[in-house]
A and B are shown apart, each in its own frame.
Chain A
């Protein structure tokens, strides 16, 4: 890892070219984690260099635990937009909904730091109505935060039922079909959709016909994201940005820009700006 530091530093020092070329489409990556194991294995300076080299204009970052997000925000406040994940360690994805101590954790962090959102959390079906998720939604309401839900459509509906004015970023767009995503976006004007870790929207640089309809109908609602769910996937951030640029080229430039970065800036960074 020390060598990587050297290489990245060299790259940055020798060439501002490590920064993206002028014509390169900026990317707002709406799905980044810098969890404890990533922070252990990737030096903070390396992580920031990866974000910059990828040409990221912004990154919505949440981590298990939140310390990684805060370190990264401190190191790159121009890129990182913090969100608060209800996980303190890896392994709480399935247990947090019934763990009341999660609320104590969220409250403590919310007292101390500013965020754009609470998430990304994993929440499915009727679990959304359990006491812990309900209290989490109340906290989001109290602090004027978005929710970033890795959820099925049912859970998203339940979240809106609890708080009709909620602003929800639907992680991976629920891994649902584009037709279903469109139906949800039509129904909920405060719903946005991230496309992290899905590949069906494009193949070989060509946008899928059904997804194209969704993008054209809702140009202001989609964002791209890497999802660094393991430490190794930090090294995919640059590849993902390039992969996204490739398929976004198949859309009209104005629409491509919206999905690539403008929606992230207008929705997520704006939400953070309101909190500061």
Chain B
């Protein structure tokens, strides 16, 4: 932080020529908080195979294996597609699985990039670990429609899967439910490895941090202007906080939440689901019950303001994860910026300090914000390992 203060003074001594805005010391501190990237690899204490290379390889295999669904058609990877930034690119997945009307799935498929850094999972945060969250789509009749019995049968019958299971967890002779939990823990170990690579923003942020004006000036001016608004008057970084650009919590940003069966109450239903979930961190499947994560789950309170709140998504690779919002109702980043620019204040309650106000952006200012958001994209791509049978794979 001291370094940033010194650099701010140095940078202010220069004019803005050379393609670098005269960021204030406060702006530089705010920018610094969005890095460094990548952080240390995420680990989940509740999952004894988190970070285990064999488990990661096993989880990768399971993630794409359609045999885990009874009809042999669905896998995690059908909706979380690597080529679509681990989304399905659709507004909602309902059409994919054929359900319509009130039975349709009404939430947008979120990206899995950087999921391992979160503490609540799902748009309503109904789960407190990736592994417990994974049980939902596996069991949901409109998604994989699977069961512990089907999963166990499949796993025990397939030599390759059985071999991998043994190498990670030991013999597969345990009850089906326990075996299913092991399966999702392996899948979670894989998902945790999906950390996005560095982006142009990171190069800029680090250049500022080391006082390298020439390198910083390579970051487009439009993105710099958008970033300034993002950390400044836009108040975006209040919720889209930190290196992953999310505070990990929930907010109501005025997006309608009617669904065919009534409403999707978001975080409100999420907390109710979390409390009722036998696989939450307070349950017997937590491999380290005394960890701080369990305390968070124990102390979460259901409050009226939670009704209609949805998870604040991280923004890394956001340009690749359209459409946007919990219901996929906004098709492009420009639409998202427009939403905030023309925010309907009547949909937001006037309690306490108002973080959200209509930004009333000019076309140029809107384009600048989009340019900044686009600069959060990495240039990496998912590469599966080329494992030998019953051997580990890797993610690069």
Contact between A232 and B305, CB atoms less than 8 A apart: no
Chain A residues closer than 8 Å to B93, beta-carbon distance: none
Say whether, besides A3-B260, A197-B304, A243-B304, A236 and B265 are in contact (CB < 8 Å). Answer: yes
Chain A residues closer than 8 Å to B256, beta-carbon distance: 230, 232
In the complex, B388 has a CB within 8 A of chain A = no
Contact between B304 and A229, CB atoms less than 8 A apart: no
Interface stretch of the complex, out of A130-138, A198-206, A259-267:
A198-206
Contact between A231 and B258, CB atoms less than 8 A apart: yes
Within the assembled complex, what's the spacing in Å between the Cα atoms of A3 and B349? 29
Contact between B258 and A233, CB atoms less than 8 A apart: no
Chain B residues closer than 8 Å to A239, beta-carbon distance: 265, 268, 304, 307
Residue on A with the closest CB to B101?
A: A3
Contact between A197 and B102, CB atoms less than 8 A apart: no
Query: Which of A226, A230, A231, A233 has most chain B Cβ within 10 Å?
Result: A230
Q: Identify A232's interface contact among B102, B301, B308, CB under 8 A.
A: B308
Say whether, besides A197-B351, A198-B351, A231-B258, A93 and B304 are in contact (CB < 8 Å). Answer: no
Contact between B346 and A91, CB atoms less than 8 A apart: yes
Chain B residues closer than 8 Å to A204, beta-carbon distance: 301
In the complex, A66 has a CB within 8 A of chain B = no
Contact between B263 and A235, CB atoms less than 8 A apart: yes
In the complex, A4 has a CB within 8 A of chain B = yes
The smallest C-beta distance from B258 to any residue of chain A, in angstroms, reads 6
Chain B residues closer than 8 Å to A90, beta-carbon distance: 344, 346
Contact between B346 and A3, CB atoms less than 8 A apart: no
Contact between A240 and B350, CB atoms less than 8 A apart: no
Within the assembled complex, what's the spacing in Å between the Cα atoms of A198 and B352? 10
Using a CB-CB cutoff of 8 Å, which residues 129-164 of chain A contact chain B?
150
Query: Which of B101, B262, B352 has most chain A Cβ within 10 Å?
Result: B262
In the complex, B302 has a CB within 8 A of chain A = yes
Say whether, besides A204-B301, A243-B304, A197 and B349 are in contact (CB < 8 Å). Answer: yes
Number of A-B contacts (CB under 8 A): 61
Say whether, besides A239-B268, A243-B304, A232 and B263 are in contact (CB < 8 Å). Answer: yes
Using a CB-CB cutoff of 8 Å, which residues 251-280 of chain B contact chain A?
256-258, 260-263, 265, 268
Within the assembled complex, what's the spacing in Å between the Cα atoms of A243 and B301? 11
Chain B residues closer than 8 Å to A203, beta-carbon distance: 301
The smallest C-beta distance from A242 to any residue of chain B, in angstroms, reads 10
Task: Kindly state the interface size class of chain A when it binds its partner.
Answer: 20 to 34
Interface string of B289-314 (1 = CB under 8 A from A): 00000000000011111011000000
The smallest C-beta distance from B273 to any residue of chain A, in angstroms, reads 14
Within the assembled complex, what's the spacing in Å between the Cα atoms of A3 and B260? 8
Q: Identify B352's interface contact among A4, A122, A175, A232, CB under 8 A.
A: A175
Within the assembled complex, what's the spacing in Å between the Cα atoms of A90 and B256? 15
In the complex, A194 has a CB within 8 A of chain B = no
Within the assembled complex, what's the spacing in Å between the Cα atoms of A239 and B269? 10
Using a CB-CB cutoff of 8 Å, which residues 159-201 of chain A contact chain B?
172, 175, 197-199
Within the assembled complex, what's the spacing in Å between the Cα atoms of A190 and B145? 60
In the complex, A29 has a CB within 8 A of chain B = no
Residue on A with the closest CB to B259?
A: A232
Using a CB-CB cutoff of 8 Å, which residues 358-388 of chain B contact chain A?
none
Q: Identify A122's interface contact among B260, B265, B307, B350, CB under 8 A.
A: B350
In the complex, B347 has a CB within 8 A of chain A = yes
Within the assembled complex, what's the spacing in Å between the Cα atoms of A35 and B328? 26
In the complex, A227 has a CB within 8 A of chain B = yes
The smallest C-beta distance from A127 to any residue of chain B, in angstroms, reads 14
The smallest C-beta distance from B342 to any residue of chain A, in angstroms, reads 12
Chain A residues closer than 8 Å to B260, beta-carbon distance: 3
Chain B residues closer than 8 Å to A232, beta-carbon distance: 256-258, 263, 265, 307-308
The smallest C-beta distance from B107 to any residue of chain A, in angstroms, reads 15
Q: Identify A93's interface contact among B257, B262, B302, B346, CB under 8 A.
A: B346
Contact between B303 and A3, CB atoms less than 8 A apart: no
Say whether, besides A150-B350, A175-B351, A236 and B262 are in contact (CB < 8 Å). Answer: no
Contact between A233 and B307, CB atoms less than 8 A apart: yes
Chain A residues closer than 8 Å to B265, beta-carbon distance: 232, 235-236, 239
Chain B residues closer than 8 Å to A240, beta-carbon distance: 304
Contact between A230 and B304, CB atoms less than 8 A apart: no
Within the assembled complex, what's the spacing in Å between the Cα atoms of A203 and B258? 28
Within the assembled complex, what's the spacing in Å between the Cα atoms of A172 and B352? 11
The smallest C-beta distance from B106 to any residue of chain A, in angstroms, reads 13
Contact between B261 and A4, CB atoms less than 8 A apart: yes
Chain B residues closer than 8 Å to A235, beta-carbon distance: 262-263, 265
Could you write out 10 A-B pairs with CB less than 8 Å apart? A3-B101, A197-B351, A203-B301, A227-B349, A229-B347, A230-B308, A230-B347, A232-B307, A235-B265, A243-B302
| Chain A residues close to B by CB (< 8 Å) | 3-4, 41, 90-91, 93-94, 122, 150, 172, 175, 197-199, 203-204, 226-227, 229-233, 235-236, 239-240, 243
**Known A232-B256, A232-B257, A243-B304; 20 more pairs at CB < 8 Å:** A3-B101, A4-B261, A4-B262, A94-B345, A122-B350, A197-B351, A198-B351, A199-B304, A204-B301, A226-B304, A227-B349, A229-B349, A230-B308, A232-B263, A232-B307, A235-B263, A236-B265, A239-B268, A239-B307, A243-B302
Give the 10 A-B residue pairs with the shortest CB-CB distance, closest first. Answer: A199-B303, A90-B346, A235-B263, A232-B263, A236-B307, A232-B257, A230-B347, A203-B301, A3-B102, A235-B262
